[in-house]
């Protein structure tokens, strides 16, 4: 039976990471486990920045954005000599199980550690919603709401000037933020990996809108796909729409988590502790599928691809 469990947060921070941390710590303490946190993600693990915590540590963090134990990106964690050091630190602290809260990079880091005999549990938390083992990651709902707040505000000014607004959102290479934001905002267009740019169709539509004297047009675009300033120039030349670009950037990652993310965090955290308390625990990734909390062996989970909800593309096209 496990006696000591440590938790870290890694990769880009996501709203709800603190709620997940709280759930893990409280569930662990409930089962009389000694709970530890690792500051600064995998880097902190390599440096031995590991500290025991009590229930007070989790006071008033459920509603806080970011992560109070900080996060980091550590590309070198793919090297055996680096993650061996991390595994040895855990062994020195006599820590039996490690929970990692983060995105797909975090899951891969945990899998490396599990190859060295550390029992690891992954809790998917990233605004990108790009973890294959789950329908939804912690942080996605909050980021989507933040995007909608921003687009609502942009609509006011866009409509006042009869402009076309190109709004770039995050997601790395996953179109979920763009697609769901487009659906929630009734955007005139969306461009992402799963719904690539079709200049002919988009420009024709914008020309028609301009001819009908429509007040404005909103196009949501995923990051890492194209230069939105180049596209804005082309739209202006081709359609006559005064076109402005907005990159929402990291403000999409901030803010207090919405209730859905806090609840997901509670459910994932409790399952993570349950898995570690099994008689013969193994390394796993938790997730939610069809509203059921599930888990997969970590080596399977890291190979799973996140797929766009079926029918979403058609729904967006139909309602545009």
Give the closest residue to 166 by CA, choosing from 99, 246, 278: 246
Q: Indicate whether 253 belongs to the interface with ligand F6P (CB under 6 A).
A: yes
Q: For the chain, first and last CA: distance in Å? A: 55
Q: Based on CB atoms, which residue is closest to ligand F6P, 128 or 261?
A: 128
Q: Based on CB atoms, which residue is closest to ligand F6P, 112 or 252?
A: 252
Q: Indicate whether 43 belongs to the interface with ligand F6P (CB under 6 A).
A: no
Q: Based on CB atoms, which residue is closest to ligand F6P, 22 or 253?
A: 253
DSSP for 233-290 reads HHHHHHH--EEEEEE-GGGGG-SPPPHHHHHHHHHHHHHHHHHHTSSS---EEEEEET
Q: How far is the CB of 176 from ligand F6P (least distance, A)?
A: 11
Q: Indicate whether 108 belongs to the interface with ligand F6P (CB under 6 A).
A: no
Task: Report yes or no: 125 and 206 within 8 Å, Cβ to Cβ.
Answer: no
Q: How far is the CB of 103 from ligand F6P (least distance, A)?
A: 5
Rule CB under 6 A: choose which of 15, 41, 100, 103 binds ligand F6P: 103
Q: Based on CB atoms, which residue is closest to ligand F6P, 11 or 109?
A: 11
Rule CB under 6 A: choose which of 31, 73, 244, 267 binds ligand F6P: 73
Q: Indicate whether 40 belongs to the interface with ligand F6P (CB under 6 A).
A: no
The active-site residue, picked from 13, 104, 128, 130, is: 128
Q: Indicate whether 122 belongs to the interface with ligand F6P (CB under 6 A).
A: no
Report d(CA 309, CA 293) in Å as an integer: 18
The residue nearest ligand F6P at its CB is 12
Binding mask 280-309 for ligand F6P (x = CB under 6 A): ------------------------------
Q: Indicate whether 71 belongs to the interface with ligand F6P (CB under 6 A).
A: no
Report d(CA 267, CA 291) in Å as an integer: 11
Report d(CA 206, CA 210) in Å as an integer: 6
Q: Which residues contact 123 (CB under 8 A, 6 or more apart)?
A: 20, 24, 99, 100, 101, 102, 138, 265, 268, 269, 272, 285, 286
Binding mask 159-178 for ligand F6P (x = CB under 6 A): -----------xxx------
Q: Indicate whether 244 belongs to the interface with ligand F6P (CB under 6 A).
A: no
Q: Indicate whether 275 belongs to the interface with ligand F6P (CB under 6 A).
A: no
Report d(CA 244, CA 241) in Å as an integer: 9
Rule CB under 6 A: choose which of 127, 138, 231, 285 binds ligand F6P: 127
What b-and-e string marks burial along 45-60, b requiring 16 or more CB atoms within 10 Å of the CB? bbeebbeebeeebbee
- Summary count for the chain: helices (H), strands (E): 11, 11
Could you confirm whether 128 is annotated as catalytic? yes
Cβ count near 111 (within 10 Å): 21
User: Active-site residues: which are they?
Assistant: 128
The site for ligand F6P (CB under 6 A) is made up of 11-12, 73, 103, 126-128, 170-172, 223, 250, 253
């Amino acid at each position: 039976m496990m006696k000591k469990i440590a938790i870290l947060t890694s990769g880009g921070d996501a709203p709800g990471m603190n709620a997940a941390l709280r759930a893990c710590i409280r569930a662990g303490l409930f089962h009389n486990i000694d709970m530890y946190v690792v500051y600064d993600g995998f880097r902190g693990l390599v440096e031995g920045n590991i500290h025991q915590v009590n229930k007070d540590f989790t006071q008033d963090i459920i509603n806080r954005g970011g992560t109070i134990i900080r996060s980091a990106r550590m590309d070198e964690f793919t090297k055996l000599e680096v993650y061996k050091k991390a595994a040895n630190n855990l062994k020195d602290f006599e820590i039996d199980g490690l929970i990692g809260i983060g995105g797909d990079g975090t899951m891969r880091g945990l899998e490396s550690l599990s190859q060295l005999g550390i029992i690891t549990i992954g809790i998917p938390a990233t605004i990108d919603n790009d973890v294959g083992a789950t329908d939804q990651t912690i942080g996605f709902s909050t980021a989507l709401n933040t995007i909608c707040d921003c687009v609502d505000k942009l609509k006011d000014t866009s409509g006042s000037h009869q402009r076309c607004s190109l709004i770039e959102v995050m997601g790395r290479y996953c179109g979920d933020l763009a697609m769901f934001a487009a659906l929630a905002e009734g955007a005139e267009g969306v461009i992402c990996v799963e719904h690539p740019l079709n200049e002919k169709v988009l420009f024709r539509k914008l020309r028609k809108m301009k001819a009908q004297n429509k007040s404005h047009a909103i196009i949501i675009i995923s990051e890492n796909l194209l230069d939105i300033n180049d596209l804005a120039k082309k739209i202006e030349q081709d359609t006559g729409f005064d076109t402005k670009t907005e990159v929402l950037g990291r403000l999409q990652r901030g803010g207090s988590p919405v209730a859905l993310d806090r609840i997901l965090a509670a459910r994932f955290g409790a399952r993570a502790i349950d898995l570690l308390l099994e008689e013969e625990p193994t390394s796993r990734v938790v997730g939610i599928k069809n509203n059921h909390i599930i888990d997969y062996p970590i080596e399977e989970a890291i190979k799973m691809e996140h797929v766009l909800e079926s029918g979403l593309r058609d729904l967006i096209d139909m309602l545009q």
